[in-house]
Amino acid sequence: MQHKFTYIFLLILILSSSFVVVKNSEVALSFTLETTQTAFEAGTTIVLKVATTKEIKPLLYCSNSYGSTLLTPIYENKILSYTFPSNISSKIGVIKWELIHEESSISGEFNIHPKQVVSSMETYIGPPSIEAGGMDYSMLVVIPTDSLDNPLAENTLVKTKYQFLNLEKQDDIYTKNFIAYKNIYSQNKSGRILVSSEALHTNSKEFSITVFPAIPIDFKILASRSHAYADGNQVTTFSTSVLTDVQNNIISDGTFVSFFITNDKGSILNTSGTTINGVATSKMIHPDYGTQWTVKAYVEGIAESNTITLNYSQVVKDFKVEFSETNRGISVGPLQSFMNQMIPDGLEVKLFVYKNNRVLETMTKTSFNGFVDFYLKPDVFKNDTYSIVLKTAGLKKTFNSKILW
Partner 1 sequence: MKETTNKYLIVALLIGVVFHGTSMFFTLESTYDALIHLFFSDHYANSWFEPWNYEWYTGFTVMSYPPLVHQSIGLLSMMGGLKFGLFSVALISIVLFITGVYRFSLLITSNKTVAGYASILAVFSSSFVETLHVFGQLPSIVGISILMHALPEIYLWLKTGRSRYLATSLSLIAVTVTSHHVTPIFGMVFFVFPLIGMVILDVSRDQVDTLKEVSFKIFLNSFFKLFNRIISFGMASLVIIIGCIFPYWINSKNNPITQVPIPHGSRDNFLEITSSGLMFFLIPWGILLILLPYIFYRYYSKRYLFFGLSITLLTILGTGGTTPIPRMVLGETAFNILTLDRFTLWASIMSLPLLGEFAYRFVEGDLKALIRVRFGAIYHRIIGGILAGLFIFMTVFTMSLGYFRPFQPQKIEMLPIVNFLNQDDHDKWRFLTLGFGDQMAWLSAQTNAMTVDGNYHSARRLPELTTRPIERLENSKFKGVAGIGSLQQFLTTPDKYNLKYIFSNDKFYDPILYFCGWQRLQKLENGIMVWERLNVSPISSILPKDDVAKWQKIVWGIVPFLTVLIAFILNIQMLLVNTLKTRHKKTPEFLKFSNRYSKFSKSILKITHFWSIFLVVIVFYNLYQFYLKNDSQRSPENAIIAYYDALDFKEFEIAYSLIDPTSNISISQYMLETSLSGGLLNSYAKLDAIETIITSRNDSLATVKVIADWITPLEKIRKIDYKSVSKYHKKWYIKSEGLDTDLPPDQLFSNNTTSYFNQGRRRITTEQTHHEDILKQPVLEVLSARLVKYGTHFAIIGEIQNIDNVPADIVLKGTLYDDHNKELATYNAKYHVKHKLFPKESSAFRINFEGIAWSKTQDSIPDTFNPDEFTPVDFKEHPTKFNLQVAGNVSGSDLYKKSVLSQLDINGDIISGNLFNSGIQEITVPQLLISYYDQNKTMLWVDHLFLKEGIRQQRKKGFEYQILKNGKIKIISESMENVFVNGLPNAHISNKIIPNRIENHSSSELQKIKHPDFSYIKIEMNSYIGNLN
Q: Judged by CB under 8 A, does residue 298 bind partner 1?
A: yes
Nearer to partner 1, 266 or 340 (CB): 266
What whole-number distance in Å separates Cα of residue 281 and Cα of residue 272?
8
Q: Judged by CB under 8 A, does residue 276 bind partner 1?
A: yes
Which of 62, 304, 315, 390 is close enough to bind partner 1 by CB under 8 A?
A: 304
Q: List CB contacts of 401: < 8 A, sequence separation 6 or more.
A: 385, 386, 387
Q: Judged by CB under 8 A, does residue 262 bind partner 1?
A: yes
Q: Judged by CB under 8 A, does residue 126 bind partner 1?
A: yes
Amino acid in the structure at residue 392 = T
Q: Judged by CB under 8 A, does residue 326 bind partner 1?
A: no
Q: Judged by CB under 8 A, does residue 318 bind partner 1?
A: no
Least Å distance, CB 311 to partner 1, is 17
Q: Judged by CB under 8 A, does residue 267 bind partner 1?
A: yes
Nearer to partner 1, 64 or 367 (CB): 367
Stretch that binds partner 1, among 163-171, 253-261, 312-320, 331-339 (CB under 8 A): 253-261
Q: Judged by CB under 8 A, does residue 244 bind partner 1?
A: no
What whole-number distance in Å separates Cα of residue 260 and Cα of residue 132?
29
Q: Judged by CB under 8 A, does residue 145 bind partner 1?
A: no
Least Å distance, CB 354 to partner 1, is 13
Q: Judged by CB under 8 A, does residue 329 bind partner 1?
A: no
3-class secondary structure per residue, the chain = CHHHHHHHHHHHHHHHHHHHHHHHHCCCCCEEECCCCCEEECCCCCEEEEEECCCCCCCEEEEECCEEEEECCEEECCEEEEECCHHHHCCCEEEEEEEECCCCEEEEEEEEECCCCCCEEEEEEECCEEECCCCCEEEEEEEEECCCCCECCCCCEEEEEEEECCEEEEEEEECECCEEEEEEECCCCCEEEEEEEEECCEECCCEEEEEECCCECCECEEEECCCCEECCCCEEEEEECCCEECCCCECCCCCEEEEEEECCCCCEEEEEEEEECCEEEEEEECCCCCEEEEEEEEECCCEEEEEEEEEEEECCCCCCEEEECCCCEEEECCCECCCCCECCCCCEEEEEEEECCEEEEEEEEECECCEEEEECCCCCCCCEEEEEEEEECCEEEEEEEEEEC
Which of 54, 161, 189, 365 is close enough to bind partner 1 by CB under 8 A?
A: 365
Quick note: the x/- pattern for partner 1 over 155-194, rule CB under 8 A, is ----------------------------------------
Q: Judged by CB under 8 A, does residue 197 bind partner 1?
A: no
Least Å distance, CB 263 to partner 1, is 9
Stretch that binds partner 1, among 17-25, 74-82, 155-163, 258-266 (CB under 8 A): 258-266
Q: Which residues within the stretch 62-101 sit at the binding site for partner 1 (CB under 8 A)?
A: none
Q: Judged by CB under 8 A, does residue 296 bind partner 1?
A: yes
Q: Judged by CB under 8 A, does residue 266 bind partner 1?
A: yes
Stretch that binds partner 1, among 35-43, 56-64, 174-182, 298-306 (CB under 8 A): 298-306
Q: How many residues bind partner 1 (CB under 8 A)?
A: 63
Residues of this chain that bind partner 1 (CB under 8 A): 124, 126-129, 131, 135-136, 207, 212-213, 215-216, 233-235, 251-258, 260, 262, 265-272, 274-276, 281-285, 287, 296, 298-302, 304, 344-346, 348, 364-368, 377-380
